[in-house]
Chains A and B, each alone.
Chain A
Amino acid sequence: MAKKIPVGRRGFLKGAAGAAAGAAALVGSAPALKAQAPERAATPLPSAALAAAEKTSPAPRVDVYTTDRPGADFMVDVIKSLNFEYVCANPGSSFRGLHESLVNYGGNKAPELLTCCHEESSVAMAHGYFKIEGKPLMVMAHGTVGLQHASMAIYNAYADRVPVYIVLGNIQDINFRRGDVEWAHSVQDAAAMVRDFTKWDDNPVSLSHFAESSVRAYKIAMTPPYEPVVIVADAVLQEEPMPEADRRNARIPKLALSAPPAGDSGAVAEAAKLLVAAENPVIVAGRAARTPKGIGLLVELAETLQAPVQDRHFRMNFPSMHPLNGGSIANADVVLGLEVQDFWMATHTQTPINRLGMEARPITKPGAKLITIYSGDLYGKSNYQDFGRYAEVDLSIAADAEATLPALIEACKKLITPDRKRAMMERGAKLAEASRAARERDIEQAAYGWDASPISTARVTVELWNQIKNEDWSLVSDVNPFFSGWPLKLWDFKKHYQYLGEHGAYGIGYGAPAAVGAALANRKYGRLTVNIQCDGDLNYAPSVLWTAAHHRIPMLTIMHNNRAYHQEVMYLTDMAARANRGIETFNVGTGINDPNIDYATMAKAYGMYGRGPITDPKDLGPAIKDAIAVVKRGEPALIDVVTQPR
């Protein structure tokens, strides 16, 4: 909502006699002069002029100006209109005006500033937060060095269809740059560096322009497919008083989010016809559940058809213990892909045949009909290749899957005859039995290596479950494949906040900050946040642990400390095996050992509870119990568990 702004003006303190004393007190002090002098290798003898100057009061500046309403105050009004709960930032000079206005003018509430020690953490926190809360966080960063730090995390968010709202500081006008640092921190086109993996950006040249573009950016980010957006907040606009032209035009446009695009009615009817007639339909879910409502819709579709759901786990799509969870597409005659970014990969296997290529084979049987409902078909860029291989399908519906499901469910229900219903129920009974048998196999498999040290990932999973199963828990880390997917096999996932899905672009360094961001979102609901944390990932920007401690963000972190970049261990072994040599060198350049990293001490150094390393599986249960007690007090806690590789 637009807020009437009492526009201030620059207050000049002229260097006239009446103001000279005050001005001298403000700007003429020795430290201020010293701060502006360049560093020198050696101190020369003072010149006669300097010696004379030091014996007298320095000359007051001609003008000293203050600004009772800098442009950044208006920017804060715009930002507040978008209802951000938090803004994540590592402080930077190019947005110092906005920083000050957020804290003092905005009262550091809605949004509240969260201190991050790395811009990658800022963005990944926003990434994790969105996947719980369903609305963006704002991130502030330098348009140059800050954005360079942030870029990998932005690409992760882009590939994961997550909107992150990024405001970049930049000093466009050369006359306002304070020395060489600010020249180095300035850029012609700040957003250019991330334009290949953001959905929209703008570089407003006035405050009214800032208002309009900021609201537009939010709307674009929140229209499926969701993606990050960038707004440049020019430092001169931030720090100078609101210009006369903007005073007349200052208003904040109304935000109305776009309804997500639903599929074409004819195409939906065709999809329903194929699904209802199928003997073995299978639903493949990527990011099908865009909101909490999506889980219920997917359950309704699966139960209507008595079709299994293969969850690719990019989101919490489908209850893990549902009897229709699972299934195989090998015998499917119709496969429905719902927001599956890698539909080709979901329907093919690949085997390496040599160093130049992979042998690909379809998993589906000949003649199987393939249907996709995918909002990614409505939007795409070419440079970064996260879009995956082209999928040859029979019916492609360019639309948001969740928005299309109600119509698809209704269309299916209308076509189901009593005969089809009977056949579907028989199919459902077989699928339920297969699901039960698969779970039984998983439980038996979890017993292998039960007492091993390093501790098996299955054992960690079950010990954790034993402690959290009666809590309102939320698992905020990617466990598939890093933890052999054990929680997804053994825990009872039902609610949207119980699993976040994967990184997006698999950029390592996402895990810890995304977990803290998710825990931040969970905090107000009193949920117990659980983070199974890969050691390699934490070492990118471990300082996010300090952010969690500083802002009292409760979260239980269990280290998956396998002391290696394990995926690369496997690749190195693969390459050595192909070259017929040196397979025993797998740990060179991939191991994170010698010395082993003490994560409990690391946690303590950042001001949080730390315990471990735990190597005996019998010690794990009591340690988890103690750490949960800490988390319930509102603090983060970490247990270092030395684990099997996967």
Chain B
Amino acid sequence: MPKILLAVLVLTSAAYAQDATGNADNGKRIFMKNGCFECHGTVGQGTIAGARIGPPPLNVQGLIRYVRRPPGQMPAFTEKVMSDQELIDVYTYLKTIPPAKPAKDIPLLNDLRAK
């Protein structure tokens, strides 16, 4: 890889790590329009087909890396089909999703634990 390109990538990644603000509304629109929800759930809760990403357990840099070179059977999405900026927007949307209530505060789930 040319050194200059590597430098650009490093700088770009560093910039993302520092500033992950994007447009949450646009991120939600992209999340639904591009079908991210089909495997990850409409609120990113995760399913058997896709990891839990709402709220995101990764930083924005980690999310972009995950989308570009995913583990397992998830397809890789290149910048041509989802730009970095779109992923930043998606990340910003995912950050707006509140964490789940603890199971102990949901009686039906807490009953399972009593077993």
Interface size class of B (residues with CB under 8 A): 35 or more
How many pairs of A and B residues are in contact by the CB < 8 Å rule?
120
Chain A interface extent, by class? 35 or more
Residues of A within 8 Å of B103, CB to CB, are 443-444, 446-447
**Shortest Cβ distance from B67 into chain A, in angstroms?**
10
Chain B residue numbers with a CB within 8 Å of A634 are: none
Asked if residues A577 and B75 are in contact (CB atoms below 8 Å), the reply is: yes
Our pick among A351, A452, A485 for the contact of B45 (Cβ within 8 Å) is A452
Q: Is A264 an interface residue (CB 8 A)?
A: no
- Shortest Cβ distance from residue A465 to the other chain B in the assembled complex, whole angstroms: 8
- B78: which A residues are within 8 A, CB to CB? 577, 580
Max chain B Cβ within 10 angstroms of own Cβ: one of A452, A457, A586: A452
Chain A residue nearest to B32 (CB atoms) is A584
Can you name the residue of chain A whose Cβ is closest to the Cβ of B72? A351
**B47 with A646: CB separation less than 8 A:** yes
Contact of B47 with A484 in the complex, beta carbons under 8 Å:
yes
- Is A569's CB under 8 angstroms from B72's CB? no
A55 interface hit (Cβ, 8 Å) = no
Q: Does B18 contact A (CB under 8 A)?
A: no
A449 touches B43 (CB 8 A): yes
Q: Which of B45, B77, B108 contacts A463 (CB 8 A)?
A: B108
The closest CB in chain B to the CB of A482 belongs to B48
Q: A444-B102, A448-B54 are in contact. Are A583 and B77 (CB under 8 A)?
A: yes
0/1 interface trace, chain A 434-466, chain B, CB 8 Å (1 if under): 000000100111111110101011100011011
A456 touches B45 (CB 8 A): yes
Residues of B close to A449: CB separation below 8 A: 41-43, 45, 100
Contacts of B108 in A (CB 8 A): 462-463, 465-466
Say yes or no for A492: interface residue by CB 8 A criterion.
yes
**Among the interface residues A350, A583, A586, which one has the most CB atoms of the partner chain B within 10 A?**
A583
CB distance from A497 to the nearest CB of B (A): 21
Within 8 Å CB of A490, what residues of B? 112
Chain A, residue nearest B79 (CB):
A580
A644 within 8 A of B: yes
Nearest Cβ on chain A to B83's Cβ, whole angstroms: 12
Say whether, besides A452-B42, A466-B108, A351 and B73 are in contact (CB < 8 Å). yes
When the two chains form their complex, are residues B113 and A440 in contact, meaning their CB atoms are under 8 A apart?
yes
**How far is A125 from B112 in the complex, measured between Cα atoms in Å?**
33
> Which residues of the other chain, B, contact A34 by a CB distance below 8 angstroms?
none
Residues of B within 8 A of A (CB): 33-35, 37-39, 41-49, 52, 54, 72-73, 75-78, 80-82, 100-103, 106, 108-109, 111-113, 115
9 pairs, CB–CB < 8 Å, chain A vs chain B: A352-B75, A440-B113, A444-B102, A465-B108, A566-B38, A573-B35, A583-B77, A645-B41, A646-B39
